[in-house]
Amino acid sequence: MTSAEHGQRVAVFRDPGLSYPASPPFNPPLQYPEYPFKGKGGLDETNHVYAAVRETLHLLGLDEAHYNQPDWNPLGEIVRPGDRVVISPNFIMDYHVNSETIFSIATHGSVIRAIADYVEIALRGNGRILFADAPQFNARFERLVEQTGLGQVAQFYERFSSVETGLMDLRRVRSTIQHGLVVDREVVDTFETESVIVDLGTDSMFPELGETLSNLFGSDYDRRETCSHHNRSTNEYCISKRVLESDVLIGVPKLKTHKKTGVTLSLKNFVGINTDKNFLPHYRVGDALEGGDEFPVERDRILRMKTKLVRKAIDSLLARRGKAFARTVSWLLPILFPVKERGAHSSEQPQIDAFYRRFLHKSVRTGNWEGNDTTWRMVLDIARAFFYAGVDGKVRDTRQRRFFAVIDGIIGGDMNGPMASRPRREGVLVAGRDPVAVDFTATRIMGFDPMSLRTLARAMQKHRLHLGSADKIVIETNWDNWKGGITPENSLQFRAPDHWDSIVAWSRTH
């Protein structure tokens, strides 16, 4: 089988009874013939996830001639001896907003461990494995790796792996949030050694927005910084040097929905290689009449005036006056807008949401709706930076590194993801080499029309920096209901986020 054929082949594994093991570092249940750590660390008979990942690789037909033999090397066509490999999970936050299981929003360490073992096999004792991600800027990374078990997986690898290994938080800026407001920031002084500026220039998806680029909002209050990196000729991102110097990235995202992009899968997971979140445009302030996509058009003149006053206060006070003003507002919010939301974490935004609902009469804010025409552009930009930027940050005409994805849908998440996902215990894994084909397939499994999502629809359009294709996908699956194809009727019928009615069209009309 050729590499091109592998690129369009997508493996879909399903076992609805599958559950995550409880004991890191998540050793395999059996001593498989190819297992690289025989006699080290014992076995875990409860770890059926390891067997599921193994079967998912087998479904792809990788190194089929040696399956179930000591020299089976399923990732050998992707990972070569001497390669520097980054394994990137989806680690957005260290808690679930509504106190549900964190594994509806974060990748479980058992999936990462099984993948890492097959990377270990492929490297043949020569190379590097780095577990790395840049979660949301207020996430507690140490707690994340503890909860997911990745910390103990990394310790196992440090002790037993035949290659150099590491675990890394890629963020340059980390923050503290209280009642939805950023009240403190920490800048990690590794920018010059750990980050590279990549300018996509006119290959970016942003120049077509024209004058409305001045409305961009990133991840912090000072929009001037985000806007300084994006205009009609310059579009810069702050990318991890460890990723750009790598030969392979293996993405391990979640099967879940997202309020700004509809879904968050392989393509969206590339955002975790950007080290400074304020380089990332998330929406444009205001409504369409003002060149924005923050929320639907407001026709009421008084509410428009109030909305502009709030924006001016954010731009002039929160952005310019720093944490002292933010701390004061954070202290006042629970008094002025008391709310009690079950399970809501104190750093989350019920008070801010209450303010927008009661003062501005808005149920949508910060671009959390289907009219967001900004975030998907950023997602495709970051994916192109990964594939085409050299370690010096300059964009080449050919791909600079290889990619493989395994989507963790053992517990997925629907409704108001990415941080308030409703847990969906589905026992699903989706894997492949082409991020577009993988995401197209996963989106249909969720029950959504892929072409209704601009991330996928635009990723498939002709572009100098090609990302992938969904034209000739071959699905290999163990699940009988899907062997004849995935349809609206046999999909998992995930529920879309609030204010995203358009993406359920596939399951409603076909």
122-133 pLDDT per residue, tens: 999 999 999 999
351-375 pLDDT per residue, tens: 777 788 888 888 999 999 999 999 9
Q: 327, 359, 391: which is the final residue of a domain?
A: 359
Q: 313, 333, 359: which is the final residue of a domain?
A: 359
In a domain? residue 472: yes
321 and 187 part of one domain: no
- The model carries a pTM of 0.94
3-state secondary structure of 488: coil
Mean pLDDT of all residues belonging to the chain: 92
395 and 476 part of one domain: yes
In a domain? residue 148: yes
> Is the pLDDT score of 11 beyond 90?
yes
> Is the pLDDT score of 228 beyond 90?
yes
In a domain? residue 364: no
Task: Give the per-residue pLDDT at 344.
Answer: 47
- Burial profile 218-249: b = 16 or more Cβ within 10 angstroms, e = fewer: bbbbbbebbbebbbeeebbbbbbbbbbebbbb
107-151 pLDDT per residue, tens: 999 999 999 999 999 999 999 999 999 999 999 999 999 999 999
Residue pair 428/445 in contact (Cβ under 8 Å)? The answer is yes
DSSP strand pairing (236-240 vs 216-217)? unpaired
How many angstroms separate the CA atoms of 59 and 125, rounded?
26
Q: 359, 384, 412: which is the final residue of a domain?
A: 359
222 and 319 part of one domain: no
Indicate the number of domains in the chain.
2
Confidence of residue 322 (pLDDT cuts 50, 70, 90): low
Helical (H) or strand (E) element with 120: helix 109-123
Q: 504: phi > 0 → left, psi -120 to 50 → alpha, else beta; which? A: alpha
Q: Give Cβ neighbours of residue 224 (< 8 Å, ≥ 6 apart).
A: 319
Terminal CA-CA length for the chain: 34
Confidence of residue 184 (pLDDT cuts 50, 70, 90): confident
| 19 or 345, which is more confident | 19
Domain hosting 263: range is 3-209+217-283+370-509
